[in-house]
Amino acid sequence: MGRPKITVVGAGNVGGTVAQRLAEKNCYDIILVDIIEGVPQGKALDLTQAGPICGYSSRVVGTNGYDDTADSSVVVITSGVPRKPGMTRDELLATNTKIVRGVVQETARRSPDAILLMVANPLDAMAHVAYRVSRFPKQRVVGMAGVLDSARFRSFIAAELGVSASDVQAMVLGGHGDTMVPLLRYTTVAGRPVSEWLSKEKLEALVRRTRDGGAEIVNLLKAGSAYYAPSAAVVEMVEAMLKDQKRVLPGAALCEGEYGFSGVFVGVPVRLGRGGVEAIIEYDLAPEERAALATSAAAVRELCSAVDRLLGT
């Protein structure tokens, strides 16, 4: 039994950094796929040459095709275009639906037992595309957003209080961005509720900053978007699954009755193990949290209806 193979589709900043972080774990074979000739090959070669210095012997292969991806344990899909000036949300959705559909068709055919980890935006809708196109069991399609949002929230709380981020626990549910739902009652610092540490006004300000976390970085960079934290979030989810860690992390999963939703991908707490999403963990939500999550789910459902029309139902 060789090392698990992980395919990363999209060799941009997020995909390239995911490949780097996975290579440094020294326990996976990594296939980096991109349509731009030379880019995945160059990054793979660079990562391979870093191995002797960083102490890893991971196999990293860059390719413009999909044959090398066969029998992958996990396929991380970061491909898709960012929204460009003048591009409508519908145009972005149509473009990325087409891209993700093609990627999923190619990878699912070659790796029928893989877990699909979606990073492409709009995240929940692209998870829906992957689920419909692959026809995989719902346990093997999951989206990454909540781990990133929770990490951002934890880092802001830690900085505000001058404590280690590892002592801050937080769970952010719902969609990525405007419709995210931080569960403040379950947010703790060294076991104590965060409300005992920070005022309501300060907490609301940190929630707003978390909501705008991606935009804040985009505005600072001027060109491009975040990739260090998103790639770290991806790798945390990959390891939870491939190492069968049974971690409870927020992930975009297909709800079938949980939290009162059916047939829609929503950011919820999931138990991740070797089977993918092994369970959706139901928290007791306050009425305002439940309402916020319902708003998030409704926004996703609207996007998914548009996706279904694009896919032709």
Q: Is the pLDDT of residue 270 over 80?
A: yes
User: The whole model's pTM is what?
Assistant: 0.96
Q: What is the pLDDT of residues 143-195, one digit of tens each?
A: 999 999 999 999 999 999 999 999 999 999 998 777 889 999 999 999 999 99
Residue-level pLDDT at 313: 62
Residue-level pLDDT at 119: 96
Q: With CA atoms as reference, report the closest residue to 29 among 55, 2, 51.
A: 2
The answer to whether the beta carbons of residues 175 and 296 sit under 8 Å apart is yes
* Residue 107: partners with Cβ closer than 8 Å, 6 or more residues away: 7, 9, 66, 69, 72, 75, 77, 114, 116
Q: With CA atoms as reference, report the closest residue to 269 among 260, 261, 278.
A: 278
User: Nearest 5 degrees, angle CA 86-CA 8-CA 140?
Assistant: 100
- When pLDDT is averaged across residues 115-123 and rounded to a whole number, the result is 94
Residue-level pLDDT at 223: 86
Catalytic residue from among 176, 241, 250, 251: 176
CATH (one of 1.10.150.120, 3.90.420.10, 3.30.70.920, 3.90.110.10) for 146-311: 3.90.110.10
Class for domain 5-143, per CATH?
A: alpha beta
* Known active-site residue 128: no
Residue 79: φ, ψ to 5°: -70, 155
Tokens representing 230 are 């998103």
Domain ranges of the chain: 5-143, 146-311
Tokens representing 119 are 């990073």
Residue-level pLDDT at 86: 78
Burial of 264 (0-12, 13-18, 19+ CB in 10 A): buried
